[in-house]
Amino acid sequence: MSQSFEQRRGQKSVDEWASDVSLILDGNTNEGIRASAPGRVEFIGNHTDYNGGWVLGATIDRRVEVVLQRRSDRQIRLQSEAAVPPVEVPLGSVERQSGEWAWANYILGMVEVLQGEGMTIESGFDLRVGSTLPVGAGLSSSAALELASGAALSEAYGGEFLRRDLVRMAQRAENEFVGVPCGLLDQAVVALGGADRLVRLDARSEATAAVPFPPETGIWIFRTHQAHALSESGYQERHDEARAVRERLRELLGNEEAEYLVDVSPSQLEEVKRELSKTLYRRARHVVTEHRRTQRVVQLLKAGRRAAAGRLLFASHESSRVNYENSTEALDFVVDRLAEQEGVLGARLTGAGFGGAAMAWTRAGYGEEQAHEVAGAYADRFGMELETLACRPAPGLYVWT
Residues forming contacts to Mg ion in the complex (CB under 5 A) are: 142
The reply to whether 140 sits near ligand ADP by the rule CB under 6 A is yes
Q: Examine residue 135 and tell whether it contacts ligand ADP (CB under 6 A).
A: yes
Q: Which is nearer to ligand ADP, 134 or 214 (CB)?
A: 134
Closer residue to Mg ion (CB): 245 or 352: 352
Instruction: Figure out which of the listed residues 35, 56, 145, 288 binds ligand ADP, where binding follows CB under 6 A.
Output: 145
User: d(Cα 20, Cα 36) in Å, to the nearest integer?
Assistant: 12
Q: Which stretch binds ligand ADP (CB under 6 A): 13-21, 137-145, 163-171, 289-297?
A: 137-145
- What's at 216, amino acid-wise? E
Q: Which residues of 336-355 are buried (b: 16+ CB within 10 A; e: fewer)?
A: ebbeeeeebbbbbbbbbbbb
Regarding 139 and contact with ligand ADP (CB under 6 A), the answer is yes
Q: Which stretch binds ligand ADP (CB under 6 A): 5-13, 77-85, 118-126, 281-289?
A: 77-85
CA distances from 345 to 308, 311, 314, 337 (A): 9, 7, 9, 13
Assess contact for 201 and 115: CB atoms under 8 A.
no
Binding to ligand ADP by residue 35, rule CB under 6 A? Answer: no
Contact between 106 and ligand ADP by CB under 6 A: the answer reads yes
> CB 41 → ligand ADP: shortest distance, Å?
11
Choosing among Mg ion, ligand ADP, none, which partner's interface includes residue 45 (Cβ < 5 to 8 Å by kind)?
Answer: none
354 binds ligand ADP (CB under 6 A): no
* 53-61, 139-147, 246-254, 374-382 -> range binding ligand ADP (CB under 6 A): 139-147
Among 46, 48, 51, 142, binds ligand ADP (CB under 6 A): 142
**Per the residue annotation, which of 186, 196, 202, 380 is the catalytic one?**
186
| Interface with ligand ADP, residue 103, by CB under 6 A | yes
> From the list 84, 244, 272, 280, which residue makes contact with ligand ADP (rule: CB under 6 A)?
84
Work out whether 138 is an interface residue with ligand ADP (CB under 6 A): yes
- Residue 50 CB, nearest distance to ligand ADP (Å)? 16
Residue 165 known to be catalytic: no
Give 47 or 291: the residue with its C-beta nearer to ligand ADP.
Answer: 47
Point out the residues that are catalytic.
186
